[in-house]
Amino acid sequence: MRILFVGDVFGKPGRDALLRWLPGFCEERAVDFVVANGENAANGAGITTRIAQRLLDGGVDVITTGNHVWRQKDIYPFLAADERIVRPANYPVGAPGRGLTVRPAREGGEVAVVNLAGDLYLHSGMSPFRIVDRLVEEAQQLAETILVDLHAEATSEKVAMGHYLDGRVTAVVGTHTHVQTSDARVLEGGTAYVTDVGMTGPRDSVIGVRTDIILQRFITELPQRFEVAEGPVRLNAVLIDSDGGRATSIGAIDSVL
């Protein structure tokens, strides 16, 4: 099984670049399953139903999200109805949507995708460690291949989750910081891991936002209205190979489109 996981898709530049690049890459590299984090796909803050549908129609099999998923209320009914999009499972009961989904891969088999939010600095309401055992046990009953997206601020929380789930899931990938880390590897138990996949969005920016706006915010310490930057897009992703649910390799992708 070959899985492509695409880092946080930021605004129109990120999603347009991804949709142009994705079909050719998947054909060339024989990708079986595509997951993309889409919580910043709508102008850098949340995701809408229209944008989610466009990503899914363009070749993404499952969309994961994070702490900004609630920014666009338009997505709430879609979260509740469509199994191809997930939100962090450790948000309060009653929030629309689900934190675990299972979807078919292109060449047979199924992939379970679990979405979690970090609690350190993001204050998700519940530590992901309190809920992940139940989710993994449920996923193991449904699919051989299991991918976990931990959308978290703290590096320590993501590294700890990788070790905690090593040998029980196929991959643990971190998202949220928009900067790709250089620690992609397969852990001893056979779980692929990377602290942060990175961002698919404007390269010449401050994590997707116009640089001049962010500089003014830091210099003046006054609120600023964020705007998505323009220009070349940096596409960050990881490509994961697995056999029988155990990862055999993970490679980082860092391309400018």
Known catalytic residues? 68
175: tokens are: 């998202």
User: What helix, strand, coil percent values describe the chain, rounded to 5?
Assistant: 30, 30, 40
Angle at 240 between CA 37 and CA 171, to 5 degrees: 70
Closest residue by Cα to residue 193 from 202, 201, 183 = 183
In one-letter notation, the amino acid at residue 129 is F
Residue 208 · residue 199 · CB < 8 Å: yes
Handedness of CA 93, 165, 141, 49 (dihedral sign): positive
- Cα–Cα separations (whole angstroms), residue 173 to 20, 59, 223: 24, 20, 32
